[in-house]
Amino acid sequence: MKTIIEPFRIKSVEPIHFNTETYRRQALKDAFYNTFLLHSDDVMIDLLTDSGTSAMSSAQWAGIMMGDESYAGSPSFYRFESAVKDITGMSVVIPTHQGRASEKILFSITGGKSKVFISNTLFDTTRANIEFAGGVGIDMICKEGKSPAIPAPFKGNIDTEALENYITRHGAAHIAMVIITVTNNSGGGQPVSMANIRETSRICKAHNITLYIDACRFAENCYFIQTREAGYASKPIKEIANELFSYSDGCTMSAKKDAFANIGGFLAMNDQELATKCRNLLVITEGFPTYGGLAGRDLEAIAIGLYEVMEENYLHYRIRSIEYLTQKLSDAGVPVMLPAGGHAVYLDAKQFLPHIPVDQYPGQALVCALYIKGGIRCVEIGSLMFGKYNEDHQLVPAALELVRLAIPRRVYTQSHIDYVAEVIIEVFEERNQIKGMKITEEAETLRHFTAKLDFA
Ligand SMILES: *Cc1c(COP(=O)(O)O)cnc(C)c1O
C-alpha cells in the first residue's frame, strides 16, 4: 500500500516560532502550569484543540469574499440553511456563534430544575450548560468505552440497556432529552454505530423522549460507520449522515469542528413550537435569525466546509493521520487509547504515570511535561476537567485520566506528526522524573480553563 498523502497543496503558510526548553519552562511557570494560559506564540505544535483551528480551503476563502452582510435575509444565510437542511434533513436551522450558544438556547428552554439529560458522554460545555440551567446530566457510556486499552469498533456507543433500566426505574417524565455525541469527544473521539443510534431512537420513541445529536464530528463518525459497520461500505458519507440524523429530533453543532470554520455553529430541529421559542431567545442573545451571531461571510465558509468535510479522500487522510500517530506511540509501548479515535490521540495518563496519584492530576503533569520537552500543547481530560469535590472537599476523580492531542484539520504535515511522536516517546522514557501537581486557584465551573497549578 502506498503512503496516504495529504489531499491538498499549501498555498499560504504560517510560521512556527521555535524556542528552547529553558524558555518553555519559564513560560509554563508564568502560565501557572495551565496550558490554556500560555501565549500561543510560545507553542510550537498546538494540539490543544481541533476547534476553530482548521485550515480553510481556497473555496472557503472565496466564500468569505462572497459573504453578504445584510442584516436580514442575506443570501449567505440561505446557502447555509440549505446546506444544513440537505445534510441533517431538519426543517428549522438556527445559526449561532458556536456550539455552546446552541446548547445555552436549547437547554434554557428544555432544561431546568429536576430535568435530566442522558448521553453517551456529554461534552464539558454541554454538561455545564445543562447544569447552569438547573438540570442534571448523566453519562451512560457502553462497557467497551470504559477501558482505554481494549479495542472495539464503536466505543462511543451509549449503553442502551442502562438507558432502558433507568427509564423503568425512574420513568420518562423528567427526562428532557437523550443526547448522542458523535464522535464521543470526551470519551476518546470514539464513534457511535448506526445500530446504536437506531436502537436509542427506538427506545426514545417508545417512551416519548426527545433525541438530539451533538453533531460536532458527524462526518468523522459517518466515515467510521462506512468503514466499520456492515452494510455501509458502498454508501456515500452524505447518505450515511442523512440516515444518522433521521433518527433524531434535532441537533446542536459547532462549525469549528467538522465544518472547517474558525467560528460558528447551529441548532437544527423539526419541532416548530420549540423553534419559535429558540428563535425568540436567539434574538436576545445571538442576533436576528438569519445571522445568529455570525457574519454573512462565516455562514458562507460553513456552508462550503460542510460539504468538503464529507469528501472521502479527505476523511481517509484525516482518520489515517490520527491512526498513524496512535500506531507509532503504541508500537513504542506508550499507553494510548485504542483504537484511534476520529480527531485526537489520547494518552492514558494513569498508566503513563502510575507513580502519580489521581489527586495529583497525572494528566496535567503529563501535559506540562510534553510542553517543556517539545513545545507541544495538549489538554488534560481527566480529574482537572471533570473532577468534583464531596462534602469533605475530597476529590471525586473522573472515570479516566486522559491527555488529548487534538489534531487540527488540514494544518500539520506528516513531519510535524513524526516530531510529536518523538517527543512523547522521549517523555515516556523519562517518565519516572515527572512530578504530580496541585491546584492553587480554581473557578466553580469549567475550572480547567482558568485554574492555576503548581508542582505538588
Ligand atoms: C466543541 C464541542 C462543543 C461546543 O462547541 P463550541 O463551538 O466550542 O462552543 C459541544 N460538543 C462537542 C462534542 C464539542 O466537541
Q: Which residue, of 308, 327, 349, is where some domain finishes?
A: 308
Q: State the number of CA atoms in the 13 A half-sphere of 260 facing the CB.
A: 27
Q: Are residues 46 and 127 in the same domain?
A: no
Indicate whether 404 and 438 sit together in one domain. Answer: yes
Please indicate, yes or no, if residue 404 is contained in any of the structural domains: yes
* Ligand 1 pocket, Cβ-based, cut-off 6 angstroms: 51, 98-100, 123, 125-126, 181, 185, 214, 216, 254, 256-257, 265
Could you tell me if 359 and 263 lie in one domain? no
Which pLDDT tens digit goes with each residue over 220-279?
A: 999 999 999 999 999 999 999 999 999 999 999 999 999 999 999 999 999 999 999 999
Shortest-distance atom of ligand 1 to CA 49:
1
Statement to judge: residues 263 and 345 lie in one domain: no
Q: What is the 23 CA–ligand 1 centroid distance (Å)?
A: 32
The CATH number of whichever domain residue 296 belongs to comes to 3.40.640.10
Residue 66 sits in the same domain as residue 36 = no
> How far apart are the CA of 430 and the centre of ligand 1, in A?
34
The residue segments making up the domain with residue 336 are 21-50+312-455
> 246 with 147, same domain?
yes
- pLDDT tens profile 398-431: 988 999 999 999 999 999 999 999 999 999 999 9
Same domain as 254, residue 157: yes
- Write down which residue in 308, 343, 362 finishes a domain: 308
Paired with 158 in beta bridges are 141
- Does residue 126 share a domain with residue 106? yes
Tally of structural domains, the chain: 2
Whether the predicted pLDDT of 146 surpasses 90: no
Cα 28 from Cα 220, distance rounded (Å) = 33
| CA angle centred on 190, ends 187 and 195, rounded to 5° | 120
Same domain, 132 and 251: yes
99: in domain: yes
Averaged pLDDT of the chain: 96
Ligand 1 atom nearest residue 98's Cα: 7
Q: Are 403 and 346 in contact (CB under 8 A)?
A: yes
Confidence of residue 447 (pLDDT cuts 50, 70, 90): confident
pLDDT digits (tens, 9 = 90+) for 342-370: 999 999 999 999 999 999 999 999 999 99
Q: 334 and 385: one domain?
A: yes
Q: Can you tell me the distance from the alpha carbon of 92 to that of 4, in angstroms, rounded to the nearest whole number?
A: 39
Dist. CA 451–CA 274, nearest whole Å: 37
**Claim to verify: residue 102 and residue 29 sit in the same structural domain:** no
Residues 401 and 378 in one domain: yes
Q: Which of 291, 308, 325 delimits the end of a domain? A: 308
